[in-house]
Amino acid sequence: MAALDVHPVRVGINPGRRLTQLIAGLVLYGASMAIQIEATLGLAPWNVLHEALAKVTGLSYGTVVAIASVGVLLCWVPLRQRPGIGTVANVLVISVSVDIALALLPTPGALAVRIAFLVGGLVLNGLATAAYIGVRLGPGPRDGLMTGISARTGWSARWVRTGIEVAVLAAGWVLGGTAGFGTALYALAIGPLAQAFLPHVTWQPRAETRIGH
């Protein structure tokens, strides 16, 4: 994914609108994950791992997402990353919304419908990503891991993200997660999609409200 600004700003100005957008974006993100899962054509790298762990443990998909998110947050400690409201909401809202969406969504059989699910879920994921990042209330656990490693090592954020996602994809695939055409499509399209939506949903704070890097 292209580099996105995930540095938080203070929530004091118009908090209702920003918090509403944050929650809506996270709910849509969870729903978009469920749509892609039901397509069964391949998942995003982290979701390949989440699905595999859900199969191995017997836990619900959302529960695995929450546990994995907490584990990633523990990795923030040596990186001196600071969570925001959006970080905590990311863990809670996505894990609940993906399980609800999975319970409600049908499982399509026809290939054409599965492809429509995949593409629709991917576009919705791009919008949801832009929506929750755009309020600048703190990065998600996985985004914060990427930026933290990049800041501490001086390595390119793009290469850090690639390395992390290759590692989790390999682990998920070995454990039985669904990797395929959808995985490759996600890797190619999610950055441009989120970047295209960002100008329409990004909160533009006054200069004095920015928290220093």
- Name every residue whose Cβ is closer than 8 Å to that of residue 135 and which is 6 or more positions away in sequence: 18, 19, 21, 22, 25, 86, 203
| Residue at token pair 């001196």 | 80
In a domain, 30, yes or no: yes
CA dist., res. 155 & res. 158, Å (int) = 9
In a domain, 159, yes or no: yes
For residue 59, give its domain range: 15-202
Cα-Cα-Cα-Cα torsion 23, 28, 33, 39, nearest 10 degrees, comes to 170
Query: Which residue type does 183 have?
Result: T
Angle between helices 85-104 and 141-153 (to 10 degrees): 140
In a domain, 42, yes or no: yes
- Give the pLDDT confidence score for residue 209 in this predicted structure: 38
- Give the pLDDT confidence score for residue 21 in this predicted structure: 95
In a domain, 213, yes or no: no
pLDDT, block means (10 residues), the chain with 213 residues = 45 74 97 96 96 96 97 93 93 97 95 97 95 91 91 88 93 94 93 91 60 33
Overall number of domains in the chain: 1
In a domain, 9, yes or no: no
Task: Report pTM.
Answer: 0.86
In a domain, 138, yes or no: yes
In a domain, 1, yes or no: no
- Give the pLDDT confidence score for residue 157 in this predicted structure: 82
- Give the pLDDT confidence score for residue 2 in this predicted structure: 39
Query: Which residue type does 208 have?
Result: E
- Give the pLDDT confidence score for residue 5 in this predicted structure: 47
Which residue from 42, 82, 78, 51 is spatially nearest to 180, judged by alpha carbons? 42
| Residue at token pair 């995985």 | 183
In a domain, 8, yes or no: no
